[in-house]
Homo-oligomer: A and B are copies of this chain.
Amino acid sequence: MTPLPTRRGVLAAGAVLLALWAAPALAEKRAFEMTIEDTRINLVEQRGFHTFAFNGQVPGPLIHVVEGDDVEVTVTNMTTLPHTIHWHGMIQRGTWESDGVPDMTQKAIAPGETYTYRFTAVPSGTMWYHCHVNVNEHVAMRGMWGPMIVDPKKPTAVEKEVTKDHILMLSSWASQWADKPGQGGLPGDVFDYFTLNGKAFPDTTPITVKKGDVLRLRFIAAGDAIHSIHLHGHVFEVAFKDGHPLPAPYKADTLLIGPGERYDIIVRADNPGRWMIHDHVDSHTVNGDKPHGGIMTVIEYEGIPKDQPWYHWAHKAPVADFYYEESLKAGKHGLLENPAYKGTPAN
């Protein structure tokens, strides 16, 4: 967002104020640099995985821009395999060569090479980016994805109500290939780890709210599984599909989402308590052969005591910005990294 308050201080007349509403229409130029790195991350506890990670993190950095911004991303491939970046949801008007598909819109970026993507951020909404080379391995299993949020110039009524914004990227992993980069992601593979922003329970982190909050949960199905997300204690509203406002938002407590889809749901925090949010595909709540893992977390309300002796997360220190909730706050635009997602160099 352009720095409206400052301008507002300078300007006075009503007619000029009117013009201010159009101010965000002035496209910003956003130039970013990214790397793709052989990176080892931990999905949960000691379960490591060799990924090809954007800026060495999974999920990759948040690209947070405004509708109409001119975006330039210069990518350097520091791995030993070819890659590209597809900006899933961006329509690339007039810039099809920046669509990021190997042998279709560009030659893949060879190891050691650099490539620059340029496009206008249209349309607004919950988008994401990912590699488009050997997607069955690189996207489905090597963590080559990150979120891209394009703020609308004209938010909808419900968007204006939101007090807390969160990104939840879902993925699955086949541990048999954890240490074999360049292989795997084939029919018949057993996917046995399941993550929320790259982590499986109990290494996920609570979502904290206070009564009266209006949560926006932006789900992005980044891996190769279909998920059925269930929220306890609330009826939510399914408000956006693939970034676009639904013409007839509907109520639900369980959300089916398939690879590449995004759904934004609105949760009105009107029911203090402690509430699970998890994949209802039951086999997605295991870590390998151990139950009670995978895609699970908890919404904790302020003021609910956590001192029950049986509460699993009584002494859990929440990880800041785990759902990019800090990075999504108004005015924070740019390419926003997240230390919580950083791995260590592999090889």
Contacts and interface: CB of A to CB of B under 8 A. Distances in A.
Interface stretch (A16-24, A44-52, A233-241): A233-241
A276 B104 contact: yes
A178 interface: no
A188 B190 contact: yes
Interface string A253-268: 1101111111000000
A262 B312 CA distance: 30
A112 interface: no
Contacts of A137: 291
Interface string A131-142: 010111101100
A104 B310 CA distance: 7
Nearest to A291: B134
Interface in A77-96: 86, 88-89, 91-94, 96
Interface stretch (A59-67, A244-252, A319-327): A244-252
Interface stretch (A6-14, A155-163, A277-285, A336-344): A277-285
A72 interface: no
Q: Point out which of A187, A298, A311 has the most chain B C-beta atoms below 10 A from its C-beta.
A: A187
A299 B188 CA distance: 30
A30 interface: no
A181 interface: no
A230 B260 contact: yes
Nearest to A276: B101
A291 B136 contact: yes
A41 interface: no
A107 interface: yes
A247 to B, nearest CB: 5
A99 B186 contact: no
Given A92-B233, A242-B251, A224 B281 contact: yes
Contact of A89 (B86, B123, B253, B310): B253
A252 B242 contact: yes
A226 interface: yes
Contacts of A88: 230, 253
Given A253-B242, A258-B256, A275-B99, A283 B104 contact: no
A98 to B, nearest CB: 10
Give 7 nearest A-B pairs by CB, closest first: A96-B273, A260-B280, A244-B251, A248-B248, A256-B258, A228-B258, A103-B312
28 contacts: A89-B253, A92-B273, A96-B273, A96-B304, A99-B274, A101-B232, A101-B276, A102-B310, A103-B310, A104-B274, A107-B310, A135-B282, A135-B291, A140-B283, A185-B282, A185-B286, A187-B192, A226-B226, A226-B228, A228-B258, A235-B244, A241-B252, A248-B250, A252-B261, A254-B258, A254-B260, A256-B258, A258-B280
